[in-house]
Structure 1
Amino acid sequence: MRERRRPTGARPAWVPSPQGSGRAFPSQPPAESRPRPRPRRAAPRTTTPTATPTTTPTQRSGMEAEDLQEDLTCSICLDYFEDPVSIECGHNFCRSCLHRSWGPGGGSFPCPECRQPSPFSSLRPNWALARLTERTRRQRQGPVPPGQCGRHWEALRLFCEDDQRPVCLVCRESQEHQGHTMAPIDEASCSYREKLLKAQCSLKDKMKKAMHFQDIEMKNVTEWKEKMTNQRARLSAEFAKLHLFLEEEERLFLQRLSEEEEETKKQQNENTLKLHQKITSLKQLILEVREKGESSTLELLQNPKDVLTRSENQDVDYSPEVLTVKNVCQIPMMKEMLKRFQVAVSVAEDTAHPKLIFSQDGRFVKNGASASSWPLFSSAWSYVSGWRNSQRNAPFMGRFQHLPCVLGKNVFTSGKHYWEVESRDSLEIAVGVCREDVMGLADASEMCPHGGIWAISWGSAGYRPLTGSPGSPTKQEPALHRVGVFLDLGARDISFYSAVDGAHLHTFSCPVSRLRPFFWLSPLASLVIPAVTGGK
């Protein structure tokens, strides 16, 4: 097709064919999906007579269809007429295109084709042209032949870089593609074919690299699975050995305990037999003395000194032996297992009794009150077992006022926790856990589970659990200078161990779910909370 040139200072326009005529009918609504016609051809540039070539009927039919399409095309939008109107000079345009070309206002405006002035009031709907345009559009709604524009039925000769699709020459001149970058379709095809070939090569290289990484990953996964299998087997083997070791240790401990039990029972039986024999001998001698005393004078005086001598020589001195269990509950590797739950503990100075002094890091505590300055502390054991302060009902300001105690900063609400406390001298101290509301206690006998304290006290005389019973026996434990406290809030109990050899000392049932470390010191006693060397 041949393109028309735009007039200077005006929008693109082509000279249409003579206006149509016929019966008036309403204009048709716009349809974006309708096929668009080709623009009309320009008039010949020369009037030189030329020989008219012979044309076939098919060629003539195609030329007529092309001429008809040009006659039904608006010279402004290069598309089928939409609501066509005629102006005074006889040219036809889309109503909307003419409004955009002339702009707002009234008066006269130049025709976009011939530049002849036409008043705005001269616009007349061209119903015949609208009907013909609609009928032609419906006939063109069939399948678009390959390589042709679906809107203008022109050959696709260009490629729009902005819209990334082939377009025809008419599309290039339309408002839709104004300012877009165009390239010949063959040139664009070659360019993008080269780019796609390069992209394909690049993707193949990336796929090779990804497959290489996949092989490495699969190899790593295989090696990792093998390592996990080996590690699982080693752990199972080590724990199997450990189970056998613990079972053997349990058997040996139970055997020693049974031997100790048998030995103790044997000693008990021997003592019982001796006492029984002694009682039998005394009964016999009592009977003999009674018979001697009830006999006649002559029989009484027959060697009476013998009976008296034997009576005087009867010795019933007997010291009952305190029965103790020699084999303590010392489980192998208990210390190592407890260390896994070790936590850092320090004292809260704002809860302490005024007589207590501390190190800067809060891990060293000393009771500065001497026995002479505080006579009621002259006996630590008597203090623990029932000393009563005369100021029992005195107010307290969030700290211990009557008992030389202090709480730890830690607040435990769940889990397992372990810490150790060391006595630096032979004076008595007590450690354990307590509720947070015990600072008002004024009676040392309330340092027991009933008073909200679960602790043990120890010193040079041994150790004993603070159960609240006045007759609670003192248990001997050689070289007990460091005690481990193990709090298991899941099991709701607290256990005490010798931190030297892991021997179990005592276990309290502790139903409270919010606890803090507790410390009590006798006069001039001091304690140290060792730094954490492992655990959590």
Structure 2
Amino acid sequence: MASCSNSNELLSELVCSVCLELFQDAATLECGHSFCKSCLDRKWDSEKNSICPKCRALISERKYMRNNVLSNMADRAREMQIKGETNEKTQIKPSDLSQRAEVGNTDHFCKEHSEKLKLFCKEDETPICYTCVDSLKHCGHNFIPLHDAVSIYKEKLTEAKFPLETHLNEIEELQEKQMQRISEVNDQTKAMELHIKSEFATLHAFLQNKEQQLIQKLREEKERTLKEMEENLRCIKEFSDTIQTQMHDIQSWLEQNDALHILQNITAIENLLTRSQKNFIKSSPKLVKHGITLGVYKGPLQYGIWKEMLSVINPGLTSITFDPNTAHPNLELCEDFTRVKNSGIYQRPLTDSPEQFSLCACVLGLEAFTTGRHYWEVEVGQNNSVWDVGVTQASSNRRGNIQISPKNGYWTVSLRQGILYTASDSACEALSAKPQKMGVYLDYEGGQVSFYDAGDMVHLYTFTCEFNEKLHPYFYPGLKGSAPLKLFHLCL
């Protein structure tokens, strides 16, 4: 193989770079490059100035020197080809010399000047030879040694790899969390099925059809929820695969020892770098957290069925009362403490008691819950534009301008400008009409507070929290002149 390569290199030195044939009457110019005399004459006749066809150097007075040595060697090579003294492995067709890829590793040579590539053009981002430096194509460009260019791009690849590794770790962690949430939804679904069956135990004979309908709804919600989560998991995996593929491609370039191969594929490397950067521009996958809608399946189910089947059950609603010691002075309570409204004027003195609301016109229920499941309804009226209902901790602040939020011990739903809001100010699901009666369900051990449109038991919102102190019903009857609130309580 070495002999073949040496023969090819020798023959390449005997070829005119103009006609790509073995020299005929070789002539050497002042710059040292050689051509066929006839090729020089034709080229100079067609040009205004006499220049070297290879290095573009200006030749004064068309001077050249006959090169008998090259002519004789070319004639000898031509005779050897004619006599068949060269075999197929060492014989080169002159036209093939223009395609250096078939003669050794010709990627290292300039295709235009047949010189070794030793520089890198920063503007064109391509390897060049020394002759290219003086060509019009690279006029005014900047050049650096090849090994410096390789170092620059390997440094860029290394810089691109590190954030990808970090991003991949985050995606893998997100993938693990999503898989965990899928498992939790499956477990949650099983628990909800058991709860539903338990709630229907006393009515099973009469309500079997209703039970199966509700279970089917739960399973459909499970399928929708899991479908969304599994689709998100697929996107996460695809995102992870994309990053791993890009990291593999980057690593392949980093392990590439052929500097010229790297620099001759700058476009591919730049595209790879652009794709890796896009991973940070476009939004990454997010964790789908939501599970089964707790309040739809774990709530006052029997009471909801009672609404549909009054002839079968009689739940025996019992009224609960407001606690006058907590009421703001402007609140007017009826004699049995079952109705309240904002009168706009003092109905009682403002005390220093921490139990009384001092600035906000609110009131608590007298009942305090530390265990069990409880459900009550609040008539809020159709014309009232502002009100709050919910629960609060016994120790929650009631003095001054209170902040209604779960972190401050308030779990409420509020009506403002015709829209229902949770205590965190995020809008509840849209309703076709404002509810005239609100239902509140508290499962103390279960850590659940759910809200319903008590007219048709449509679930509105559910809070989940671990309770560790007394909870009271909480109410804000609205502005001065609003219709009074009326409360009911039903033990399940």
Q: Do both share a fold (TM > 0.5)?
A: no
TM-score by length of 2: 0.39
Return the structure number with greater helix share. Answer: 2
